[in-house]
């Protein structure tokens, strides 16, 4: 496989996908067109507008972008595509739409055959076993929480360390993930912004500027430096 | 009805339910026993331990506490109970358990007949129309997101204002609720910590120390002072 599952599309103060540009040139090397999956609709943005945002960035890499919503037969479009990018937004909306259209498995199969895939945030969540470690609000009810399982673990994008100065009693991200582990025996990769999971052939590594925090049932959470093998 | 739906059980630096004590004396006036619903299990705490925490507090009010998990027939227990308290934790786990045991409607009917109800955090979410505005992580898959509908709107407990100093690109609470409104036409009450929704007979008001932020489809979010009528 040839996959990037990134914590975020945009670093604080940066432009869309800018920090990943060199990695994306390698990921999509030799491709002149990819399909963008806009279903997560951040802030309720339309499929057209969201696809335009991806199109603007990839035009700098001389890669054309088509939105998956533009096709009458999205299953055939996925089979015919050369590569994929799923943008961030609301994971519940993304997963609900993919299951409704029967696309989750189709996309997974195409990626497992070697077609390059970029996911950001919600688009990374769907690379995991299931979406049970998303941070998003459950604004719609998906028919299932199951995802593509490109990796044998779950991701928590935008992983955020507890802020000791916050006078607020909502759960920290770590508490939430520890609650997940009381109900599920699946490893969780806490991806800080600036980090991504890289799948290249059979190797899965954590990459980027930050350490990655890893959660497993029955263990204390631990930290891995960039370049660490995840499986 | 006679209901309190609170943002949180515990204010920063305070003790469990302490800030609500005077209100709870009024809510449960004349009762010597209530049923505690421990299914949200914050941090994975056991039903027994969680019930013990509620029991400790209510012993100061001379009210006995029985955990709903202690009964072989929870439906009959709800019908026989004098009042209820549902503690916070994970809303997905709470809602899944209530639906599995067929208790959501039973509880709702008993409260609508006038039995006093206290909800905190996840226990407040289930007082709304559905759980689609919870902040919690979807660690388990409930058979439905529908809730008791004690009020004709949804709640967002632990409502948190955006922090302009945070160098992080995860969505703010406001962004998430605005995304909810692109998919649902249901009013959302952003309950800051220190606030609660009070139902007394047919009157629904927002109470507590803070202003309450209200979100409606097609409107800018707006603020209401304590004491405002919500319906």
pLDDT tens, A167-193?
A: 776 788 999 999 999 999 999 999 999
pLDDT score at A150: 98
pLDDT score at B152: 98
pLDDT score at A164: 73
pLDDT tens, B8-48?
A: 999 988 999 999 999 999 999 999 999 999 999 999 999 99
Lowest-pLDDT choice from A20-24, A159-163, A217-221, B52-56: A159-163
Q: Which residue of A has its CA nearest to B165?
A: A12
Distance between CA atoms of residues B196 and B151, nearest Å: 13
pLDDT of A114 over the 90 cut? yes
Q: What is the mean pLDDT of chain B?
A: 96
Nearest residue, CB atoms, A170 vs list B44, B135, B138: B135
Residues of chain A contacting residue B138, judged by C-beta atoms under 8 Å apart:
92, 131-132, 134, 138, 145
Interface of B with A (CB under 8 A): 8-13, 41-44, 89-90, 92-93, 131-141, 144-145, 158, 160, 167-171, 175-184, 193
Residues 6+ apart with CB under 8 A from B160: A168, A170, B173, B192
Q: Which domains does chain A have, with CATH numbers?
A: 2-224 (3.40.50.880)
- Residue burial A106-131, b: 16+ Cβ < 10 Å; e: rest: bbbebbeeebbbbbbbbbbbbbbbbb
Residues of chain A contacting residue B168, judged by C-beta atoms under 8 Å apart:
12, 158, 160, 193
- Residue burial A186-225, b: 16+ Cβ < 10 Å; e: rest: bbbbbbbbbbbbbbeeeebbbbbebbbbbbeeeeeeeeee
A144 contacts B132? CB cut-off 8 A: no
* 8 A C-beta contact, residue B153 and residue B130: no
ipTM over 0.85: yes
Q: Give CA B142 to chain center in angstroms.
A: 17
pLDDT of A27 over the 90 cut? yes
- Mean pLDDT along residues B207-225: 96
CA distance B30 to chain A (A): 31
pLDDT tens, A45-58?
A: 999 999 999 999 99
* 8 A C-beta contact, residue A170 and residue A179: no
B144 contacts A160? CB cut-off 8 A: no
């Amino acid at each position: 496989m040839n996959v990037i599952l990134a914590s975020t599309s945009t670093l604080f103060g940066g432009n869309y996908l800018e920090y990943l540009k060199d990695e994306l040139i390698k990921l999509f090397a030799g491709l002149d067109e990819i399909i963008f999956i806009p279903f997560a609709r951040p802030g309720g943005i339309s499929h057209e507008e969201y696809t335009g945002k991806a199109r603007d960035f990839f035009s700098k890499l001389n890669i054309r972008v088509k939105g998956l919503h533009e096709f009458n037969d999205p299953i055939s479009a996925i089979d015919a595509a050369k590569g994929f990018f799923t943008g961030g937004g609301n994971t519940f909306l993304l997963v609900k739409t993919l299951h409704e259209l029967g696309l989750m498995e189709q996309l997974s199969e195409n990626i497992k055959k070697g077609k390059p895939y970029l996911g950001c945030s919600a688009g990374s969540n769907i690379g995991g076993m299931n979406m049970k470690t998303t941070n998003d609000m459950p604004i719609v009810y998906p028919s299932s929480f199951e995802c593509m399982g490109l990796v044998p673990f779950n991701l928590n994008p935008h992983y955020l360390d507890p802020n000791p100065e916050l006078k607020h009693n909502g759960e920290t991200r770590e508490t939430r993930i520890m609650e997940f582990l009381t109900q599920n025996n699946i490893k969780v990769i806490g991806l800080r912004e600036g980090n991504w999971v890289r799948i290249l052939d059979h190797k899965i590594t954590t990459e980027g500027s930050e350490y990655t925090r890893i959660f497993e049932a029955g263990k204390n959470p631990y930290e891995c430096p960039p370049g660490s093998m995840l499986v």
